[in-house]
Amino acid sequence: MSPIPKKQLLAWLPVIVGLLVLYGPSLYDLFTGIWSSDEQMHGPIVLGISLWLLYRNWATMEVAASGKQTSAWGGAIFVFALLLYAVGRSQEILFFEIGSSVWMLMALLLLKRGLSALKVQWFALFFMLFMVPLPVTIVDIVTMPMKMAVSYAAEHVLFWAGYPIGRSGVVLQIGQYMLLVADACAGLHTLLTLESLGLLYLNLVRRDSFFRNVGLAVLIVPISFAANVIRVVTLSLITYHFGDAAGQGFLHGFAGIVLFLSALLLIIGFDSGLQWLESLRCGQSASSSAE
């Protein structure tokens, strides 16, 4: 059964129409523009998951918000979101244009249902931040050191494994092959995709333990890095053993899947590790209190 009754849907109709007029064209531009590129593949996935999270928590939100005052802060945020949108849309600043949607939804929840409703939906809105395209300048600044670090780590892993490997900047040479670590292989967007994946895992698993939540959220950064190294190593090995065509062909896509699978496995592995640590610690404190 839908958690949103028809009668409520009618009350939200003006807002829904407004949102469609504002963000319909934006979404069209995104889907026909940057979201169709390899680097920003996570955008539509994040949007879909955010909307699903909003929908899933809707009934809980209504219960939490019932009988509560709506918040006047919503008005101020609403105006801010509208200005941000107008500037972003007209000047093609996607960071503002798409970023305004998060502020807009926040304002709408405050205006229609109040602060307690926002508290229920905060994660869905926070999660939406991951779909906001970052300014090119920021992406460029962060991407280069990451690519260097990933290349460096991949070189050392392969060297220890006894492969004939050399590196100059972000160019790896394995056997007779030269591999250039591209943006898509080690970029900020991969990090963001994996970070969002990790946060979603945390939210879905719903740990009560603060220690495990914070621990894992922080660990996701090195996990993303490790996953990227695994991907570059995998690609290097594919190229070395099966040739250049294989490395650039369908196996390139395979390496992308390796990236996500290894990240997911690492996340689950670390989570179990943290759980074990916690049980150890709790066991100790339990036994020490018993003494």
Partner 1 sequence: MDCNGLSHFDVARVLPVPQNEPMKLVLKDIVMLVSMLLSAVLGYTLHPRIFLADELPPMDLVAMVPSSFGEWREDANLSAQVVNPEQQTLLDKIYSQTLSRSYVNHDGYRVMLSIAYGKNQTKDTQLHKPEICYPAQGFKLLSQKPITLNLLGNVVRATRLETELGARIEPLIYWTVEGDRNTTTAISMRLAELSYAARNRIPDGMLVRISSIDKATDMANQIQRDFASDLIAAIAPATRRRFLGIPTND
The binding site for partner 1 (CB under 8 A) comprises: 8, 11, 14-15, 17-19, 21-22, 33-34, 62-63, 65-67, 78-79, 82-83, 85-94, 97, 108, 111, 113, 135-137, 140, 144, 147, 168-171, 180, 183
**Closer residue to partner 1 in complex, CB, 7/206:** 7
Minimum CB distance to partner 1, residue 27 (Å): 13
**Closer residue to partner 1 in complex, CB, 18/222:** 18
- Name the pairing type of β-strands 171-174 and 165-168: antiparallel
Q: How far is CA 269 from CA 75, 224, 229, in A?
A: 44, 14, 17
Integer-rounded Cα Rg, in Å, for the chain is 23
Minimum CB distance to partner 1, residue 253 (Å): 19
Minimum CB distance to partner 1, residue 91 (Å): 6
Q: How far is CA 147 from CA 40, 138, 196, 229, in A?
A: 17, 14, 20, 10
Which of 185, 207, 212, 282 is the catalytic position? 185
238 neighbors 255 (Cβ within 8 angstroms):
yes
Minimum CB distance to partner 1, residue 197 (Å): 26
From 94, 45, 32, 36, select the one nearest 194 (Cα to Cα).
Answer: 45
166-198 b/e (C-beta count within 10 Å ≥ 16 → b): ebeebebebeeeebebebbbbbbbbbbbbbbbb
The amino acid that residue 224 corresponds to is S
Secondary structure element (H or E) that encloses residue 168, with its range: strand 165-168
**Closer residue to partner 1 in complex, CB, 8/285:** 8
203: its two tokens: 């939210």
Minimum CB distance to partner 1, residue 164 (Å): 17
**Closer residue to partner 1 in complex, CB, 82/246:** 82
Instruction: Please give the Cα distance from 109 to 62 (Å, whole number).
Output: 11
231 annotated active-site = yes
Minimum CB distance to partner 1, residue 21 (Å): 5
3-state SS string over 192-227? HHHHHHHHHHHHHHCCCCHHHHHHHHHHHHHHHHHH
Strand partners, 172: 167, 179
**Closer residue to partner 1 in complex, CB, 93/264:** 93
**Closer residue to partner 1 in complex, CB, 121/262:** 121
Sheet containing 165-168: order of strands: 165-168, 171-174, 177-180
Catalytic residues: 185, 231
